[in-house]
Amino acid sequence: AALAAGCAASPVPRYYRLVAEVPAATPAVAPVTAVIGPFAMAEYLARPQIVSAAGGNRLQIDDYERWAEPLDANFQAVVAANVGRLLGSDRVLEFPARAILAADQRVSGRIVRFDVDARGEAVLEVQWGVVDAAGDVRQPGRVSRYAATAAGGAMAARVAALNATVTAFSYDVAAALGAAP
């Protein structure tokens, strides 16, 4: 009975996801065709629980604050949606869309860091680049860092700050794709 009472008092997990926040642009006359992804995640992020930086080399994994879907897939989908909206193109799809879209360009990379620290600073560090349909480099690989401050200590505010870093990254990706001939 004591064991059953203890289980009944366990916190209920809460689920979060990243969302596209960019408003839709006017459709482009000659829409960009691009595939977004794949993006590999640092191994410490490959879990349903939300990971926070706890200072120094220490990470905190919260068992009751979780991503609603695999983070790599959610990240890729949001970047694709944001970039498509920014460029006014319905032909910016997420990987593995190469089977259904003859894309002019592909953006891929690796998420090196994606967490919020104890002060509430959300950080996204991503290695990324753009190649054309032939596999030639259009935008050389680079490391980009984005930061946003959470408005409060609640997990919803922390996830919103992480989402803001993904939106900032999306603007850079759209600029890189839009700069191509």
Digitized pLDDT (tens) for each residue of the chain, 181 residues in all: 555 555 567 889 999 999 999 988 777 777 889 999 999 999 999 999 999 999 889 999 999 999 999 999 999 999 999 999 999 999 999 998 766 778 899 999 999 999 999 899 999 999 999 999 888 898 889 999 999 999 988 999 999 999 999 999 999 999 999 865 4
Kindly report the pTM of this predicted structure: 0.90
CA distance 53 to 112: 13
Non-local CB neighbours of 31 within 8 Å, separated by 6+ positions: 87, 88, 89, 90, 91
CA distance 138 to 16: 34
